[in-house]
């Protein structure tokens, strides 16, 4: 009888450990900065892109600050089907990629505009590097 109690207690402890490990793994998946958060940010940016695709927007600009994305930068592209790129300015990465949606063509931004945007919002280093390597002199 006593052996059965030890086995049950051991199984309960093992089950508790498995539950804890599963919770830790899922928190990395769904928690801050996890895979699911990156998908939520992409979904929010895609919603902005679809909603404003055919509007005439002033670019580049800080379009707004949103709960899922933080500040969003909108930049013109060279793609007439998707005239704007939408960038989550303060999120360094979404599932290993830049948090950006829009045309596959290159963005159209001057280096002076990049500097001005950087004074208005704290742009994540990977985003700022991409903007600086993509900008043109004037």
Model confidence pLDDT, tens digit, residues 33-72: 444 445 788 899 999 999 998 999 989 999 999 888 899 9
Greater pLDDT, 138 or 83: 83
Contacts of 76 (CB under 8 A, 6+ apart): 59, 60, 83, 84, 85, 107, 108, 109
Selection from 97, 115, 45, 95 nearest residue 74 by Cα: 45
What are the extents of the domains in the chain? 1-30, 35-134
As a whole number of angstroms, the distance between CA 27 and CA 20 comes to 11
Residue 15 · residue 21 · CB < 8 Å? no
Residue 136 · residue 110 · CB < 8 Å? yes
pLDDT at 106: 86
Virtual CA dihedral for 86, 92, 93, 99, nearest 10 degrees? 0
As a whole number of angstroms, the distance between CA 93 and CA 72 comes to 14
pLDDT tens string 114-138:
999 999 999 999 999 999 999 999 7
Lowest mean pLDDT among 46-55, 78-87, 93-102: 93-102
pLDDT at 12: 56
């Amino acid at each position: 009888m006593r052996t059965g109690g030890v086995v049950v207690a051991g199984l309960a402890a093992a089950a508790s450990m498995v539950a804890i490990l599963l919770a830790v793994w899922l928190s990395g998946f769904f928690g801050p900065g996890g895979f699911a958060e990156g998908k939520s940010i992409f979904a929010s940016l895609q919603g902005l892109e679809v909603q404003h695709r055919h509007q005439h927007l002033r670019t580049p600009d800080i379009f707004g600050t949103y709960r899922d994305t933080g500040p969003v930068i909108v930049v013109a592209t060279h793609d007439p089907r998707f005239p704007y790129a939408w960038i989550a300015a303060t999120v360094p990465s979404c599932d290993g990629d830049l948090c950006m949606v829009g045309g596959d063509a290159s963005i159209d931004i001057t280096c002076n505009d990049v500097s001005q945007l950087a004074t208005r919002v704290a742009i994540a280093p990977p985003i700022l590097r991409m903007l600086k390597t993509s900008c043109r002199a004037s």
